[in-house]
A and B are shown apart, each in its own frame.
Chain A
Amino acid sequence: MADTKKKTRNGQSEFAMIWKQLKKNKLAMAGLIIFLLELVLAFLAPLYIPYGITEMDPVAQRAAPSAAHWFGTDNLGRDIFSRICYGGKYSLTMGIITILLSNGVGIVIGAVAGYFGGWVDNLIMRICDVFQSMPGMLLNIVLCAVLGSGWFNTILALAIGNVPGSVRMLRASMLKQRGAEYVEACQSINCSTPRIIFSHLLPNSFSPMLVGMSMGMSMMMTMAASLSFIGLGIQPPIPDWGAMLSDARQFIRIAPHMIIFPGIAIAISVLALNLLGDGIRDAADPKLRR
């Protein structure tokens, strides 16, 4: 009985509570709507974009924005608006997939560390220490070189680099829960260890994790763009925004629109994710709950 009660209160209701708070936050909702809208637009892009993403117009190279080409064209005469819309599929999902991957792995490792404590915890945390004693960008650059270029390889590089952070975050919140009474109660009725971890501790550590994930997403997006910009990461013909910026750099003076629009696209998405992340953080903060 105690089992089910805890589950509902700490599982679904936790999410419901955050959601309820979040809905009141106009800025956060704006962020969420912008981001979702971007995602929908990106995935529906093939239906509405005026030009193919590799369609080259030899007479309109580096053309400034106009009625025919809203965001202008690039050096190969491709429509930048179409490319940005289509490229969103890669750039926007990058942050999400990276965070889901790294947190998925982080959850398992962090849960193990947090639950068992002792030497297991110690070992895992020391390994995390090692990874976290390098600047994240350094680790990502080296990982990118090892894994090679490409969309998924870049995600993998970013995700691996992000695992120690999510492990640490999850463990911290698990530690708080470990001493809680309900855990003792579960142990006393002979719940299995994995069951305690996954059906009790995890749901209860849900909200700090959610905050970390929503904040991490925007960071991963910027990092991915930075890596593409210095020539690591995503390669053409994928119209990733960071890669578009990297290619456009040499045209910065003759065709500034080539660099402005992808930059704005990144900035808006990161802004939306930040608004959402702030909102989730506030919503999850018990101090701010009324």
Chain B
Amino acid sequence: MARYFLKRLLWMIPIILAVAVIVFTLMTFCPGDPAVIILGSTALESDLQAKRVELGLTDPYFVRLARYLSDTFIRFDLGSSWVTKVPILDSIKERLPRTIVLTIITALISFGIGIPLGVTAAVHQNKWQDHVSMVLALLGVSIPNFWLALLLVLLFSVKLKWLPVSGVGGLKYYILPALAGCSGAIAAMARQSRSSMLDVIRSDYITTARAKGVPERQVIQKHALKNAMIPIITVMGNQIGRMLGGVMILETIFSIPGMGTLIITGVNNRDYPVVQTGSIFLAIVFSLVMLVVDMAFAAVDPRIKAQYANSAKRKVKTNG
């Protein structure tokens, strides 16, 4: 298990390197001139050219790529934004936590509401609880996040004046963006929880447990839910991954200075170093989330656990 974890962790290194190469290449093909953005549209051509040389934009693609990779991955020098001059590491230190906090809050709300909703629906299959939950889930997955965000602001900030409109401050600033961002995930969680609970509830051992006279509450909580968790965790992982992307849009709508706004502004300003480094960090977070999900998956599924154990044993055997 630990071996597998380590292997996956190491495997992340070439993946992230490749991400860096891809983003770098994409930005290279981006139409637009960073020098014009930095010096303004009335800058002299001679100054623009000097700026391009200073930024290394006139060098061949491979030279720039090699320089960028060695700066970033060998010298660990992330550089500064071309436009704002702010060291990128500082920006990321400041912004990444916000994006992560927002994602975590969104995830907690979605899982906290979605799973119970789905379980309730399964337990009361074909009764009104089931129908209400599933209609809610269908609506939730169909309403675009950004549209919901606008309507939520109108209701909770402008009309009721309960929550701030935008920006960052305390925890309350994250509530509206999280609410807007979680609708789809709640729905996905509810649907998955319902269907995997149904699978489990129909199975023999639950019938046995019931036959033994185990109270229904305990049957659901102790036996059924635990086994139903395996597919639910997979969906959780997918949802967290999707949230990280969705948060980029929500950050723009709510003016949250996180990684999303950093990268989108960077793209608009053709601030290559910001986009490249920002993307790398997002990719690292994303990959780590996926890794943790896989680990959690292995932890709950005895079959997968056994698989790792076996392969480790086998290896020991062959080595011996």
Contact = CB atoms under 8 A, between A and B. Distances in A.
Contact of B19 (A134, A141, A225, A271): A134
B320 to A, nearest CB: 28
Contact of B150 (A134, A141, A252): A252
Contacts of B139: 267, 271
SS of A interface (majority): helix
Interface in B129-152: 138-139, 141-147, 150-151
A230 interface: yes
B26 A130 contact: no
Contacts of A266: 144, 147
Contact of A134 (B249, B252, B282): B282
Instruction: Indicate the member of A131, A137, A275 with the most B CB atoms within 10 Å.
Output: A137
B18 A138 contact: no
A133 B16 contact: yes
B15 A230 contact: no
Nearest to B280: A134
Given A137-B248, A267-B144, A252 B23 contact: no
Contact of A137 (B16, B144, B150, B249): B249
Interface in B1-42: 12, 15-16, 18-19, 22-23, 26-27, 29-31
A138 B150 contact: no
A55 interface: no
Contacts of A268: 142
Interface residues of B, number: 45
Interface string A262-279: 010011101100110010
Contacts of A270: 141-144
Contacts of A278: 191
Contacts, number: 113
A136 interface: yes
Contact of A138 (B141, B151, B263): B263
B142 A271 contact: yes
Nearest to A272: B142
A141 B15 contact: no
B231 interface: no
A175 interface: no
A145 B244 CA distance: 20
Nearest to A270: B142
B142 A141 contact: no
B312 interface: no
B26 A142 contact: yes
B245 A274 contact: no
A259 B147 contact: yes
Instruction: Indicate the member of B27, B248, B268 with the most A CB atoms within 10 Å.
Output: B248
B116 interface: no
Contacts of A136: 242, 245
A245 interface: yes
B295 interface: no
B30 A133 contact: no
Interface string A69-108: 0000000000000000000000000000000000000000
Interface of B: 12, 15-16, 18-19, 22-23, 26-27, 29-31, 138-139, 141-147, 150-151, 154, 158, 191, 241-242, 244-246, 248-249, 252, 263-264, 267-268, 275, 279, 282-283, 286-287, 290
Given A137-B248, A274-B142, 11 more contacts: A133-B12, A133-B286, A134-B19, A136-B245, A142-B279, A230-B146, A252-B154, A263-B151, A267-B142, A270-B144, A271-B139
Interface of A: 126-127, 129-131, 133-138, 141-143, 145-146, 148, 218, 222, 225-226, 229-230, 245, 249, 252-253, 256, 259, 263, 266-268, 270-271, 274-275, 278
21 contacts: A126-B15, A130-B15, A130-B18, A130-B22, A131-B22, A133-B15, A134-B19, A134-B23, A135-B282, A136-B245, A138-B279, A141-B267, A142-B267, A146-B30, A230-B146, A245-B147, A253-B158, A266-B144, A270-B142, A271-B142, A274-B141
